[in-house]
Structures are given as structure tokens and as C-alpha cells.
Chains A and B, each alone.
Chain A
Amino acid sequence: MRDQNYQELVKKVTMYLDNELSESAERELLREIKANPAYLKVLSQEKSFREFIKSIHRRKPSPALIQSIKEKIRIAPV
């Protein structure tokens, strides 16, 4: 795959994974992917990369912070 085409494909796949493609663009991309096994590999790798990055830990606020916010709100004028 030529680099320019590859970059274009990655951009489209990225937008597809971000749910940002229009319906017609999505249909066109899926048609291209179906017709070309190399495209499918790009999609699966980008998807893996995304899941890999996601797997950035969520953190929980302490009960003390929640309590403090609620107390301050109670005395704050609107």
C-alpha cells in the first residue's frame, strides 16, 4: 500500500472507530475493507491500539472530597 493511501486509510479508520464518519462514508469504508484484506488488518490493528490505550486507569474520588463538595454547596449562595 502506498504511504499516502495508507495515511488516508488510517484517518478514515480512525474516524470510523471514533464514530465520526457519515453513514455513506462508513458504508464506503466497510465496502473497501471487505474487498481488501490488507485494509482489514489496518482496522484490526487500529482497534487493538485503541483498546490497548484504554486499558489509562480510571480513578475514584475519595469520599472526603464528595463530602466536602456537598458541604460547601450547602452554604454557597446561587
Chain B
Amino acid sequence: MSYLSISHITKQFGDTVVVDDFNLDIEKGEFVSFLGPSGCGKTTTLRMVAGFEIPTSGKILLDGADITNKAPNQRNVGMIFQSYALFPNMTVAQNIGFGLSVRKESKELIAQRVDEMISLINLEKHAHKYPYQLSGGQQQRVSLARALAIHPQVLLLDEPLSALDAKIRISLRAEIRAIQRKLGITAIFVTHDQEEALSISDRIVVMNSGLMEQVGTPFEIYNFPTTVFSANFVGTLNNASAEVVNPAKSLIAINGVQFESAVDLKGRKKGDKVRVAIRPERLSFASEQKKANVVDAVIENITFLGSVVRIQIKIGDTKFNMDTFNNPFLELPKIGSKEQVTCSREAVLVLDE
């Protein structure tokens, strides 16, 4: 039996279904991210685990105990908020010790645990400072220490990095992941940032309009999206309507241009409408290396993105993006020139229309 079981939970506000039949089992020590756009239900789901919202239907089991209707202060769940939510009237040490003091722990134990937590987040010199005297990154680390001090069974992180600048965000997410691994704590991380989710998670739940679109490892989610939404939301993607040409050979055509896919299309009929997705980095110039699919393309535009150069091409009547790594010796084609581009069969993903 899994450690945290979110079983068929639905949440309605009036007539609006915010979370619809969410079903997920999380193992102890696992780091799971809920990824999706604003309003997809990811935060509501997290808040149901925290106890701030009660599901309209469904069950939440934590280590075998039903916590669905338990008050938040009865759950032993640590929560980290986007806005840090440190108590402004308390010092760093008092903030970290707050959860233990409300549990009526002894002063010695509180002091010891606070010291432990402060050294865990490397803020020894700031123990007696107030939140307003700390930077955003430091405040969020205190918030993490405060949530961990109570030995929570699950750590919930509600977009904890969104208010921080890019550099701090990257270093703090690595720090959060390292601490989570070190303590072996089960964690749920809510984010709308796909890069964040891909970099930090054991598993990702892609959500859209209250529904689970796909659950999988970051590798699976990125390389093998199962829905159009999932494919579009995670990473950059070329996607186009296509028609099945030869199911036995997995041949499809995008506006008359044929591609061969590795996806088994035997269950489909000739003429079926499908959606095809190809990651920009899976396309390359055929002059470099020829793969299963070689097609003619016209270069429409070239955009320099730092480490990557994005080339907009037109294959038949369909526009595609093609990414290539930047290097000082890169020879780029001229805009308007005709080139041959190629991609492997595996790069051609076929999704339901």
C-alpha cells in the first residue's frame, strides 16, 4: 500500500468542478510535482492534502490513516507557501520553533531542533533576525526549516520559488531537493514552471482543467507525452494535424508531406485524423546526418536564443521550429533558402486529435 493515497477526489465550488476524479498513489520519500497552468486545480489538490479544502468526494489516506476530513492542525503535514508566510513578529529561531512550541515540546528539545534546522539551511548567523531582515531566498529557506522542524509526514510546497529571482530559484530548488533526499521526506511540489518540475521531481502529474493529463517521470513526460496538452505544456513542440496514410507502416501525412513514425498505428484506419508532435531539437539538417524521415523545407527565420539557435522552417504548408545547439563554428543557412531536414521515426509522436 502506498504511503499517501489520493483516491478519486473531486472538488466542486458551486457548480464549478475544480478537481475531477484525481487519483494518485505516492510512495514514501518520493518527490512528486503537480504541473499545470493557472486554474488547472493543482493548488486546490495540494490544499486538500493540507486540509485547507475538504474534497467534495474521494478519500485521502496518509500512512493508512484517513485524513480526508481532518483539520489542518491535526494532520502533521508541513506546508511551504509562495509568499513565505513567516510570522513577522517572530525571529528566525522563533519561527522555526513555533510548530514545536504549539506541540508543547520542552524548551531544550525545541532549542536543539531549531539549531539542527538552522544549520540544515545554513543560516546560523541569522537565527535572531526578523523576517524583514532577510532576503527572499533566505526567508524561503527559513520557511522550509519551519515546515521540517515538526517532522511532518508529508511536505507540501505551493509554488515556493515563484517569488524569487531566476538565479536564487535555481539554487534553492537544488537545495530543496538535496534536503528532501537527505531526510527522505515525501514531498508534493506545485508549480506551473515545467523546467522546475522536470529538474526536481521523481514523478510529475500534468494537470489541465481539473483533470490529470499524464503521470510519469520527467523523462517520460518530456519524451513520451500521451496527450496533446501534455506535449504542448512541457517543452516546446511542433504539432500539426495529420492523416494516417498507411497504418501498417506507421505512415502519416502532414498536409501531404509523409512522415514515418515509430508509434504503432495498426489500430487506426487509413484516413484517420491524428495529431503529430515533433520536438524542435529532434529535427536537424539532413546534410549532417540522414534519419528515417528526410523532407524538403524552406528557411523562414532564424532566432538566436543563447545556447540554442531556433530556425523556423516550412515543410509543405506547415511551419515548424527546429532547434540546434549554438557553437562558434555553426554554419547557418540563409533565410529563404531550401534545405533538407530530417528526423527519426521515434521523434514523430502520434497523439489523439
> Do A and B assemble together?
no
